[in-house]
Amino acid sequence: MRRLITGQAAAKGLALGRARVCEAHGLDISEERIEEDRIDDELARLHLAIDRARDELAKLRDRLHGAIAQEIGEFLDLHAMLLDDPELLAGFDRLIRDEGYSAAYALKLQRDRLVAVFDGMDDPYLRSRREDIDHVIGRVHAGLQRRDSDAMEGLAGDVLICDSVAPSEIAQLAERGVVAIVTAQGSPLSHSAILARSLHVPLVVGAHDALGQVNDGDAMMVDGRSGEVIVEPSAADLRRFRQRKRESQREQERLALLKKKATRTKDGVDIRLFANAESREDVAQAHDLGAAGIGLYRTEFLFLQRSELPDEEEQFRVYRDVVLGMRGRPVTIRSLDLGADKADKTGLALASEPNPALGLRGVRLSLRHVDAMRTQLRAVLRASGYGPIRLLVPMISSRDEIRRVRREFLDCARDLRTEGYEIADNLELGAMIEVPAAALALPRMIGDVEFLSIGTNDLVQYLLAVDRNNDALGDLYSPLHPAVLRLLHDVIKLGQKHAKRVLVCGEMAADPAQTRLLLALGLTDFSLHPGSMLEVRQIIRESDHHALRRRASTLLRAPDREAIERAIARL
């Protein structure tokens, strides 16, 4: 019987396949005790499953390259660390050897104990890390049940139905041919959702009824754009699916024709599309798609997954290669943005903070570790001898922070020139506007920067006091809030008044549904993932810039999200 399940759209795309229901992380295991003569065998079974899980993570780490490896590396390493935790392993041994429990039930008891510890924490970010416990224990349990078979066998063409999915699992599932994923929990702004979009795997999250309504083997139709999931689709559904797949293919072919086209509105206004990047693959794709340059090059991956700081020479070679890869188009390097949810083994960021999202991160971390900051500044400055490059400083909240960075920047430039290095004469310094205080204080510090970049992901989160990774608050986290629009408009307008370039580099810039809204607010510079560039370019080329600008006042007068959505629909 046909059934419709709705969730939140997280990664667009259409898929048709068989359902594979996975509830391993729930660990609904009854208490089971074993005879004394089975204890050694049961311990051996459990440790073999742990070794398998550890080996799976290591093999996945080795197979992945480029941006995907950088995106999920911290999760892979965290899960591997949990599997090596002596306290966790000792707990398993005690429950089996001293209490006489089966390996599966020992897993459940350890999982429940650790989850209770995480649930008792005051900090919401640390509470959210309980998912890592579920994913690790679930992986071991799968290995325990699997024995010598491969749990991933036969997944090609399947739609995975599960409670939640880790970024590392998404990469593995994509390799195995899973056509779509539907989860009962999760957020469209999670790392898993971002990775699914990068890998072009349709993803629907927050489909709370999925686990109760879907059986293994059911035919499934998943729409990652609308968030609709159809179980046992009708003949009419299948006809619509085939028609929409044909339309999607034609659309991709049309978009491919825009690679070398100008990003210009119907009324002749040039808009610049920059690319967000963190790897050579991203840079090559950006150049191939005709990006105006790199609007945000993330440098964190150089520092993640290693116990020592990268030296000046290593950083210089990476930044130089980005500049050379863009062949004269400008490159914006974001200074180190560790902290918050980015794992760090170098010792720069604090291992534990009461509230990491509001803690020692971004520019605060750089100014705490001036030697590490100067190493990065010198590398960026040396790369400027090979092409246009500028520096973007994250998490700015005051004029003093940007002035302190500039002093170090100029001091490093003097030292390098004295040492005989060739560096650019004029180097631009910009501030990321992602803290509401920076947006409100901007009139008093705009003279201290050459350009601005609005990080909408964090700006919306901090402005609305809504954790963007908390699916329970998904309805509250939205850039379509009157306060967000007012702040965006004011920052863009102030930048134009002072002849300072303003980019938007958050997920909002990559969302085609928001393109005309941003144009109406006056934005002329976007920075987005290369995968969204052609679709956004098409919308810009179909838009009348002057007509949109005349609608800005209507948008800014809208009293609530619903009114803003209606106004956008009329754009």
Q: What is the pLDDT of residue 128?
A: 54
At 151, is the pLDDT very low, low, confident or very high (cuts 50, 70, 90)? very low
Out of 63-67, 210-214, 316-320, pick the least confident: 63-67
* 447-467 per-position pLDDT tens digit: 999 999 999 989 999 999 988
- Look up residue 19 and give its amino acid: A
Residue 267, by phi and psi: left (phi above 0), alpha (psi -120 to 50) or beta?
alpha
Would you say the C-alpha torsion 543, 546, 550, 555 has a positive or negative sign? Answer: positive
315 within 8 A of 279, measured Cβ to Cβ: no
Q: Which of 533, 532, 515 is nearest to 524 (CA)?
A: 515
> Would you kindly state where each structural domain of the chain is located, as residue ranges?
3-244
Report d(CA 204, CA 184) in Å as an integer. Answer: 9
pLDDT (average), residues 271-275? 97
Residue 103 C-alpha from the chain's centroid:
36
Q: What are phi and psi of 501, to 5 degrees?
A: -65, 140
pLDDT (average), residues 260-280? 93
Q: Report whether pLDDT(147) > 50.
A: no
Please pick, among 79, 141, 191, 369, the residue that the annotation labels catalytic. Answer: 191
At 360, is the pLDDT very low, low, confident or very high (cuts 50, 70, 90)? confident
Residue 262 C-alpha from the chain's centroid:
28
* 191-244 per-position pLDDT tens digit: 778 778 877 899 999 998 898 888 888 899 999 989 999 999 999 999 999 999
Report d(CA 509, CA 492) in Å as an integer. Answer: 14
Please pick, among 481, 505, 529, 545, the residue that the annotation labels catalytic. Answer: 505
* 32-61 per-position pLDDT tens digit: 888 888 888 888 888 888 888 888 777 666
* Strand ranges (E), 214-254: 219-223, 228-231
Please give the structure tokens belonging to residue 194. 């971002």
Report d(CA 469, CA 280) in Å as an integer. Answer: 28
79: annotated active-site residue = no
Q: What are phi and psi of 107, to 5 degrees?
A: -60, -45
Max CA distance (Å), the chain:
82
pLDDT (average), residues 2-13? 91
- 3-244: which CATH topology? Enzyme I; Chain A, domain 2 (1.10.274)
CB atoms within 10 A of CB 203: 31
393 within 8 A of 432, measured Cβ to Cβ: yes
Report d(CA 286, CA 534) in Å as an integer. Answer: 11
Q: Is the pLDDT higher at 185 or at 171?
A: 185
Q: Which of 254, 178, 198 is nearest to 22 (CA)?
A: 178
